[in-house]
Amino acid sequence: MIGKFRVGTGWKMNHTLAMARDYAGTLAAAERPEEIDLFVLPPATALAEVARLLAGSGVRVGAQNAHWAEKGAWTGEISMTMVADVGASLVALGHSERRAHFAETDLDVNRKVRAALDHGLTPLVCVGETADEKRLGVAVATNVRQARMALAGLTHAEAARVWLAYEPVWAIGEGGVPATPEDAQPIHRAIKQAVVDLVGIEPPVLYGGSVNPQNARALAVVPEVDGLFVGRSAWTAPGLLEIARLAVEARADAGA
Ligand code: PGA
């Protein structure tokens, strides 16, 4: 395992400012497991407020996406400078919903990783194969390509600051089928090896895709799984804390 076990959530396009305040307030006041590095990725509209409410709590706050350019004529986008400016420390990049609906390419993700690092942010790079890629037997190749493209050109020291998440597209969202530990383990291994071969660093690789209270324990004890990146099951603060608690419990039981 690389560093503390991480448990976090992206809210996607959910939560008004009032709901975001409630979530952050609950999380700030809650007893949080020390063994876990918690993170929350609110929508851009709530980023500053959530970062403010969780400042000093140890819970990391991040953006769900940001642009690689410093500033300029990019209507609708936010820059890494803006993300860092409001007190966020993390930025998810290359989520499959960004790749599928906003045509983000591996090259875009590479530029964004570069920009995030240049602004002192931790990039959380999402990789994952589609159901078709899995069916055709190119799951490993897809994940390795996406991971290598994301980190290409980084120095050893820069690569050491990057987190990855394996998020099989077929596992994400309503109708997604969560990956089993047996599905996830070989891909996590392949992603780690690809990064070791590229820059000599074994990165943390989180698992994401329909993580829920039923499967969190089993996924949390896979040795190559360094954290859980949760969507729906952590859209409430108690939901996030419950997954974190289950991960702690399972890992303690497994002696991890
Ligand atoms: P889900 O989302 O847990 O709702 O499947 C996961 C993700 O998109 O990271």
Judging by beta carbons within 10 Å of its beta carbon (0-12, 13-18, 19+), is residue 147 exposed, middle or buried? buried
Residue-level pLDDT at 256: 84
Catalytic residue among 15, 95, 97, 129: 95
- Count CA within 13 A, CB hemisphere, residue 121: 32
Residue-level pLDDT at 93: 98
The yes-or-no answer on residue 167 being catalytic is yes
CA dist., res. 22 & res. 93, Å (int): 26
CA dist., res. 15 & res. 18, Å (int): 8
Of how many residues is the chain composed?
256
Residue-level pLDDT at 225: 98
CA dist., res. 228 & res. 71, Å (int): 32
Name which residue sits closest to atom 7 of ligand 1, judged by CA: 231
Q: How many CB atoms lie within 10 A of CB 72?
A: 8
| Residues 19, 11 contacting (CB under 8 angstroms) | no
What's the 208 CA to ligand 1 centre distance in angstroms?
A: 6
The per-residue pLDDT for range 69-119, each reduced to its tens digit, is: 999 999 999 999 999 999 999 999 999 999 999 999 999 999 999 999 999
Q: How many CB atoms lie within 10 A of CB 14?
A: 14
Evaluate: CB of 210 within 6 angstroms of ligand 1: yes
Residues lower than pLDDT 50 in the chain: none
Which is nearest to 147 in space by CA: 205, 92, 101, 186? 205
User: What kind and span of H or E run contains 122?
Assistant: strand 122-127
Residue-level pLDDT at 2: 78
| 63: alpha, beta or left? (left if phi > 0; alpha if psi -120 to 50) | beta
CA dist., res. 125 & res. 162, Å (int): 7
Evaluate: CB of 229 within 6 angstroms of ligand 1: yes
Name which residue sits closest to atom 3 of ligand 1, judged by CA: 231
Name which residue sits closest to atom 2 of ligand 1, judged by CA: 231
What's the 37 CA to ligand 1 centre distance in angstroms?
A: 18
Going from the C-alpha of 107 to that of each of 68, 77, 201, the distances in angstroms are 11, 17, 21
Residue-level pLDDT at 230: 98
Fill in the amino acid letter for 47. L
Q: Which tokens go with 147?
A: 């991971």
SS3 6: strand
User: What kind and span of H or E run contains 197?
Assistant: helix 181-199
The yes-or-no answer on residue 242 being catalytic is no
What's the 72 CA to ligand 1 centre distance in angstroms?
A: 31
Residue-level pLDDT at 253: 96
CA dist., res. 231 & res. 1, Å (int): 22
CA dist., res. 168 & res. 152, Å (int): 21
Q: What percent of the chain has pLDDT over 90?
A: 98
Evaluate: CB of 215 within 6 angstroms of ligand 1: no
SS3 206: strand
